[in-house]
Amino acid sequence: GENVEQHPSTLSVQEGDSAVIKCTYSDSASNYFPWYKQELGKRPQLIIDIRSNVGEKKDQRIAVTLNKTAKHFSLHITETQPEDSAVYFCAASYGFGNEKLTFGTGTRLTIIP
Amino acid sequence: GAVVSQHPSRVICKSGTSVKIECRSLDFQATTMFWYRQFPKQSLMLMATSNEGSKATYEQGVEKDKFLINHASLTLSTLTVTSAHPEDSSFYICSAVTGGNTIYFGEGSWLTVV
């Protein structure tokens, strides 16, 4: 089955700086890679996703890059704000009707004012 | 947008009893739903895939006789934790997939076994 590794487990960034979280996956058949933000005790909130036919996707301050050859993908948050503080999870799935997700181990991001 | 609702949001049960958690897709039909478990400060781990009208598919290491899943309609899947023990205390969360392959999560259910 799929295995997703995520680094770092914790990340502290000065407000206004950029944050980068990286994930690697093991199954080359995976083709859907979402990123979630989760507040304590809440459902995961999708912040951005990418499918394997795309190398990069951007939505305002958030971007995701995918390297299929190396089987890794990264989340980039620019101009960080205090409200970006949360736990972030990457995930991978086969997609297209088989959307069971294998999650990474999570990154606790803290934005320092 | 599509909504997935879970009930109850919090439940406390005595050790040895069973507890049922419901997952409903409120405005779309979902032939497939997924159940995840999340222990404190850990990631979400897939427990099983719930298929409408057929048996659930369990992930390796998940006891199918302990975690009973029923997906009797296109809008409802239930997870029953049987003979619950304190180590089953966790955050249980479901997801459902729309026809457009969009994933929506329920609000989650906190289970505490005392």
Q: Between A42, A96, A104, which is nearest B43 by CB?
A: A104
pLDDT at B35: 97
Strand partners of residue A49 = A34
State percent of chain A over pLDDT 90.
88
Residue B77 CA to residue B96 CA, distance in Å, equals 9
Strand partners of residue B20 = B80
Confidence of residue B87 (pLDDT cuts 50, 70, 90): very high
Higher pLDDT pick, B48 / A40:
B48
User: Structure tokens of A14?
Assistant: 């000065």
Q: Between A99, A104, A106, which is nearest B101 by CB?
A: A99
Q: Which residues of B touch A44 (CB under 8 A)?
A: 44, 93, 105
Q: How far is A90 from chain B (nearest CA, A)?
A: 10
